[in-house]
Structure 1
Amino acid sequence: MPVLTLIKNAEVFAPKSLGKKDILLGGRHILAIADDLSMHGSLPELEIVEADGYYAFPGLIDQHVHMAGGGGEGGFHYRTPEISLSHITTAGVTTLVGVLGTDGVTRSTRELLAKAQALDFEGVSTYIYSGAYQVPTRTLTGMPRSDLVLIEKVIGIGEIAISDTRSSHPSEQDLAELASEARVGGLLAGKAGVLHLHVGDDDQKLSILFHLIDKTELPLSTFVPTHLNRNPDLLEDAVRYGKKGGIVDVTSGIRPDKHDHVSVKPSKAIRRLLDAQIRPALITMSSDSNGSSPIFDDRGKLLAMGIGSIKTLWEETVDAIVQEEVPVETAISIVTLHVARILKLQHKGRLKAGLDADILLTDKEYKIQHVFAKGRKVVENGEAIVFGTFENAHDIPGSPQSNDESGEKSEKRGRPMLEPSDEDEDDFPDRDERQAKSRRRHYCC
């Protein structure tokens, strides 16, 4: 891994347009952005990335990902899988926030935290919300507030379900208490302390939130309702909420298809919110990746089941730019700068010297070419070059994909996938050493 990386001649959106610039990366940070950062003399550990004809954007921040899996509506076989590192990075996402969702029984906040730690080690930045759909909600320490204060990766409470038959139908008092826990926990820990709310299809829409903000002094910035493009009526409620100064989060993974004839396409929902004069800084978008997407009929019968994809986040951002004519700076801010500000991730969401080197390079058709996460190139020429530990099952002895040995006795089965290194004090290769062993495929842990 090079000590320094120089990105040359990219058209930079920080997300504000800066024109054609060079970007110098060192370690996990951006060291400088300037017109010409050509290096004079011999620097053998400098990698130069020629980016003439490319756009440079901040890496995307996805604030709603079922990183440890989700779902379960319809039975155990509908439990969705964990997300893999290369799925995240090839989608242009470099920072993500994990949620549990419907299933707070067979899945736990501990499991979510462990997955977040694993992905962080493998190369992207991760955070989680403490909780699940239900109230009282699921926690690590027994109290949502203490989760926020004591667990570094916990930045809020959620996703708590409202206006949904799968919720526990929390009262205004229940939500007020949870919002207070989130706010005070955030104040004590210097974190965002948001209450992240799943909003379902019920006719109540955002009514409980309107009542709550009228009856309490809780700041609107405490509440982050999501899935607001689920249907046109809910989107209109979101317009009312946004006009009051509330944050409105569109879900890129909820969009019309052969089973869903109700939802509003995310890029069109963004256009609607902007046309309604909602302040752009209040508009965000997240993917709901790896969550289940059940379609029920009027009687509650399950008709179809899908799974959210993290790739929709960039797809709908591009559609907002190309199809809905949303200015590039505005569209990019919705999935970078605005999210970072709301979640108080001061080192994320912008391209600026001193901040994390999370960078997305695309061609002029907005096709992802290169991705840097925490200063390390993880996608090159549109293909992942850094992979999670078990992403290539063919290399795992005893896996179903290792057909050469299936059904036969093998002494290699069950053995460690990675060999020890004599050079490491702990007798196990560190991350950078393991990743340096292969230019074609890297394994991060």
Structure 2
Amino acid sequence: MLIKNCKLIDREGLVDILIQEGKIAKIEAGMEYSGEILDAQGKDVLPGMIDVHTHMREPGMTHKETIETGSMACAKGGVTTYIDMPNTNPATITVEALEEKRRLSEEKSIVNFGFNFGGSLDNNSDEIRRAQNIVATKVFLNISTGKMLIENDEVLGEIFEASEKVMVHAEGEMVQKAIDFARKYNKKLYLCHISQESELELVREARKDYKEIYVEVTPHHLFLNLEEQTQRLRMKPELKPQTDVDAMWRAIEEGMIDTLGTDHAPHTLEEKDAKVTFGIPGIETAMPLMLDAVNEGRLTLAKLVEMYSTKPAEIFNLKGKGRLEAGYDADIIIVDMERRYTLKNEEIVSRCGWTPFDGREVKGRVETTVVNGNVIYSADNEDKFNKINGREVKING
């Protein structure tokens, strides 16, 4: 396929992108091609987004989301690769559970996928060492379901030691604890969904002598605040005062925050309304919200691509991902920065069927999503989704 008339963030003028065997073969202006042609019409063309923090709910909770519906939500949101978290049912804390999730994903996902393994309070460090091609070990220090909240320091130390990279759910003082363990065991540390200015200060201080600390922020901690909280808008970490929201935006501008991760955690509205249930969907609406923020001048398009594509690929050594360059995988999105529309519950493709941003008008839309050289989503086509299976990401090194 040849994608013609592409506007790239790092090149002058319009160029064409030639795709061969699922990879980018060449990028230059005015190419001729006799095969399939997709005309970008001068719109912005970006590498596919990479969301390393998602909860696809399968196996065990498929009434909320399935791998198929979750991957469709990814495609609509311009996410060509997602990394699934381990707190499914059963939890991904054994190699057996990992292989079953791998089998299901190969069968059902229409975008690329990968897996975070889980640390267990029962000390599954041997399972962590046996697990193949995982992105990171996810450790919960504040809250979790099942056997994944680790409060025993000896167990925590063995899990850090067994892992190559560690993702943590750490809030407040637990951020410092995670940093201390990462430094002690010399591990790359990824701090999920940081939401408070005080937590950023801990990172700022730690980075003076330990550089392998990376910070993620979620869209809901950028676009919602504590004053807007309702029972439906409960998640962990909780929404914060506007002063913390403003601090997150400043941290993006300063380069303190490395990545955007949605913490896509769908529940049905029936579940949310029945009792306090933590988690909200987000993968489908992250790009519309962020593209709107680009239009408002809150960040540049280049910064968005860095946070939501290039840096995730670099931090976790995702082979062939995160850039539009020859030799990289043909994971590509076309966005219309001028398109105004309203986010609506009835248009959500995630199985949960709702968004906390229902009724919000945005400017900037994902028009087309290409995964491994195949067009799998087109916003203006009636069928919208071409259900070609994605592939598992490969980890370098």
**TM superposition score category, shorter chain reference:** 0.7 to 0.9
Contact 1:131 / 1:137 at 8 angstroms: preserved in 2? no
Match of 1:27 in 2: 21
Alpha-carbon deviations, 1:397-437, whole Å to 9, x = none? xxxxxxxxxxxxxxxxxxxxxxxxxxxxxxxxxx89xxxxx
Please state if 1:100 is matched with 2:86: yes
Residue 352 of structure 2 is matched in structure 1 by none
1:249 to 192, 200, 216: 216
Write out per-residue CA displacement over residues 156-191 of structure 1, whole angstroms, 9 at most, x where no aligned residue.
212x111337663434443332222122xxxxxxxx
Q: Which residue of 2 aligns with 1:168?
A: 149
Q: In the alignment, what sits opposite 1:426?
A: none
State TM-score, norm by structure 1.
Answer: 0.66
Match of 1:127 among 114, 137, 143: 114
Cα distance change of structure 1 residues 382 and 90 upon mapping to structure 2, 3 Å threshold: farther
Deviation at 1:328, TM superposition (A): 1.7
- Give the match for residue 166 of structure 2: 195
Q: Give, in angstroms, the shift of residue 234 of structure 1.
A: 3.6
SS at match of 2:303: helix
2:384 equivalent to 1:385: yes
After TM superposition, give the deviation of residue 37 of structure 1 in Å: 0.8
Once the two structures are superposed, the pairs formed by residues 358-373 of structure 1 within 5 Å of their partners are 358-365=331-338, 366-373=364-371
Bigger RCO (CA 8 Å, 6+ sep): 2
Give the match for residue 38 of structure 1: 32
Indicate if the aligned counterparts of 2:261 and 2:308 stay in contact, CA closer than 8 A: yes
Counterpart for residue 344 of structure 1 = 317
Structure-2 change in CA distance of 1:109 and 1:217 (3 Å):
closer
**1:10–1:22 contact (8 Å) kept in structure 2:** yes
Partner of residue 2 from structure 2, selected from 1, 6, 12: 6
Partners of 1:315 and 1:93 lie apart in 2 by: 12
* Structure label with greater radius of gyration: 1
Alignment identity in percent?
Answer: 20
Contact 2:124 2:159 in 1 (8 A): no
Asked whether 1:288 is paired with 2:256, we answer: no
Q: 225, 228, 237: which is aligned to 2:194?
A: 228
Contact 1:267 1:320 (C-alpha < 8 Å) held by counterparts: no
Q: Which runs of 5+ in 1 are unaligned?
A: 73-77, 184-193, 295-300, 390-430, 433-445
Q: Structure 1 165/178 Cα, relative in aligned 2: closer, same or farther at 3 Å?
A: closer
Q: SS of 1:100's equivalent? A: coil
Counterpart of 2:36 in 1: which secondary structure?
strand
Whether contact under 8 Å (2:116, 2:137) holds in the other structure is yes
Note the C-alpha offset of 1:276: 4.3
* Aligned position for 1:397: none
| RMSD of aligned residue pairs (Cα, Å) | 3.5
Q: Tell me the SS of whatever aligns to 2:291.
A: helix
Cα distance between partner residues in 1 of 2:169 and 2:58: 16
Shift of 1:324: 5.0
Structure 2, unaligned stretches of length 5 or more? 339-363, 391-397
- Could you say which residue in structure 2 is the equivalent of 1:87? 73
Shift of 1:252: 2.5
| TM-score of the two chains, using structure 2 as the length reference | 0.74
Aligned residues: 340
How far off its partner does 1:258 sit?
3.5
Which amino acid in the other structure matches residue 130 of structure 1? F
Q: Aligned partner of 2:190: which letter?
A: V
Deviations 1:195-246 (A, max 9, x none): 111224xx424120232245x2504xx21110112x4544544554556532
Alpha-carbon offset, residue 359 of structure 1: 0.5
